[in-house]
Amino acid sequence: MSFMRLIRIALNAIGRNRLRTFLTMLGIIIGVASVIAMLAIGQGAKQNIQQEIAKMGTNVIFIQAGSDSHRGASMGASSRQNLSLEDAEAVRNNCPHITAVSPQVSGSGQVIYGPRNWSTAIQGVNTEFFDIRKLSVSAGDKFTAKDIAAAAKVCLIGQTIVENLFDGEEPLDKIIRFNKIPFRIIGVLEKKGEDARGHDQDDIIIAPYTTVQKRVLAITHITAILSSAESEEVAPLAQDEVIQAMRASHKLLNDEEDDFRVRSQQELISTFSSTSQLLTVLLASIAGISLVVGGIGIMNIMYVSVTERTREIGLRMAVGARSVDIMYQFLIESVIISITGGIFGLGVGLAATSVITLMLKWPSAVTPFSIILSFAVCVFTGIFFGWYPASKASRLDPIEALRYE
């Protein structure tokens, strides 16, 4: 019996019980739709995290002070105060793959304008910081090297501070006070939103590092150094160069541990992507349980179908059908039901993904991999759960089958 003939027989058998066939497909439809939606949400979250981190600069390399210890007890990360401007210059001069370097000092406190106040953070940096972190100015201008040299009390503010302090008033050239220190606003940063960790990137004041160092914090050291590699491809090499430059600057011997920490954005991307991938697999696995339930439904219905059509099977065998033809007939029915359910499930999954994205504003991304995976699982489900009923049908004795009532 030809393969096309077996397909026509299978389609005729499926068409005779349309409602039962649809109800059998329902488990597969729900399973495939769930897998498509869960993978799309997980992939969308992963891409969103990568995009948000990219906004901070994918080539950024952070240098922070290492942890200190007192009587054997660790004082925590960045507890030392051993970073200096000389370290920043060492990175600038001895790292060929580093294109920009900025010292950084930071603190938090209350900013006041008129009767309004807001709790925020201030960062002291140099002019290269804006290129490193890909920051743009929506109004006004950035401070200059002259402002840094003079420790000028000028600053740029983020949109969150504009909204909470000025209530529609033009902020440029206004005087605000941060911990009682007056600052003149010379620029407003473009809105960036929250980062991958949920921190508001617009809730910030940026000023010359010399100003924050001397006038706000009254310190001589710096709290961090930010640098930028030429490209993502050379970022690991640039990170190694930074480590060597810092060790040389701190005069560390070969057997001494680093008294600083160097991290890159690539590490951050990798960490968040791994977490997102784990959650995606978990969600898809839970959704995949529906496919197993749908497969059991197919097996049950095919088993019932074999029982109902025992006389038909006996008649086909009596007129020359082989056992393998009978097995293929029922196996093809099972696979057709499974694949058809998969097609409907794909449509439902795409529609559900669109609704979730529109209604809940969750990022999503349907990938070819998720579609291929769903169809592969459907074919496997049809074959795996249809095999036993098909095998049972092929082993029937034609004489006993013809006598079956």
Write the DSSP string, 106-119.
EEEEEEEETTEEEE
Residues 169 and 214 in one domain: yes
Which domain, by its residues, includes 348?
Answer: 3-52+271-403
**Tell me, what's the pLDDT at 157?**
96
The neighbouring-strand residues paired with 227 are: 61, 101
Length of the chain: 405
Question: What is the rounded average pLDDT for all residues in the chain?
Answer: 84
Q: Report d(CA 248, CA 260) in Å as an integer.
A: 12
**Tell me, what's the pLDDT at 196?**
58
Domain membership flag for residue 323: yes
**Tell me, what's the pLDDT at 74?**
46
Residues 38 and 124 in one domain: no
Residues 115 and 188 in one domain: yes
Category of 236 on φ-ψ map: left (φ > 0), alpha (ψ -120 to 50) or beta: alpha
Domain membership flag for residue 76: no
Residues 336 and 398 in one domain: yes
Residues 293 and 394 in one domain: yes
Residues 8 and 156 in one domain: no
**Tell me, what's the pLDDT at 73?**
44
**Tell me, what's the pLDDT at 57?**
59
**Tell me, what's the pLDDT at 168?**
83
Domain termination residue (choose one: 258, 280, 307): 258
Of residues 390, 287, 284, the one with CA closest to residue 337? 390
Q: Which residues of the chain have pLDDT under 50?
A: 70-77
The tally of domains found in the chain comes to 2
**Tell me, what's the pLDDT at 268?**
65
Is the separation of the CB atoms in 290 and 34 below 8 Å?
yes
